[in-house]
Structure 1
Amino acid sequence: MRLLAIFAAATAALAALTLPAHAAPGPLGEPGGTLALPLKDAVKVLPAADESRAGYPSTLFRHWTDADMDQCNTRKEVLLAEAFLAPEQGRRCALTGGEWYSPYDDVYVESAGGLDVDHMVPLAEAWDSGAGQWSAEEREEYANDLGDDRALIAVTRT
């Protein structure tokens, strides 16, 4: 049941997140908007195309940027947002203390260093699904998406 819930969440995230910003509005609504359809209907309106499984250069997804220039990069912004016991935020956004919950493995983590921030739809899947056709700016925006709470998640470091 838990795997089914993770699959459903990932599929919903895929529907909402993998469209490039220049996609034409249509049944999916405005690019970057929230899709308000039952999952079975949302999947039916996704554009279909062959995937590229040739691999991807992760360097083409510039991530962990500091878009709002507050000295907290995207990774730290996610950690701050997802902490259920807030860490202390020091100079240059150094995080100490705090506590997080990793839903993938049902583990509580007491150090920001014990966490990774994952993309709900992995960069490799985005690439395979067409991100190779996006501009560098679109890939950076996708890799650092703080506009949708479903895009990035703090999980235990493996």
Structure 2
Amino acid sequence: MIRLEIPGFGPVELQHLVSDFTGTLSVDGRLVEGVRERLLRLSQNLEVHILTADTFGTAERELSGVPCRFHRLAEPHLDRQKEAYVRELGPERVMALGNGLNDRLMLRIARVGVAVMLPEGVAVETLKAADILVRSPLEALDLLLEPRRLKATLRF
């Protein structure tokens, strides 16, 4: 668990990291270099969940050896499936990462929603649903590895 008191934002007690894969942790189906190591470190304090439609069909292979709950989702209504998953975990205990339109609902309800902007871009509605925008999954994961960064960004 990661605990923080963020002035103006309130207490944050995270137990789960929920992330999209394609365009969030990967580019063209390949895990961004450095993500694996960060996920391994974070899995010592958080339960890691990967929810993906797996556009390139590579997610399970790319995440091999990473302790996570992997869920390949099927059309239709990916957005509602992701939202329901976060609701089941308890959104107040979740930090969610995503970039696509189908990530907007889970980012909106998660205690901390992070939009990740890789070459695929970020859907405008997803950006509006997020608490934070970062330029890479490394920056997103580092917010958890160095929680004072999260505090500095979210305090009023």
Q: TM-score range by the shorter chain?
A: under 0.3
Q: Where is the strand percentage greater, Structure 1 or Structure 2?
A: 2
For normalisation by structure 2, the TM-score amounts to 0.25
For normalisation by structure 1, the TM-score amounts to 0.25
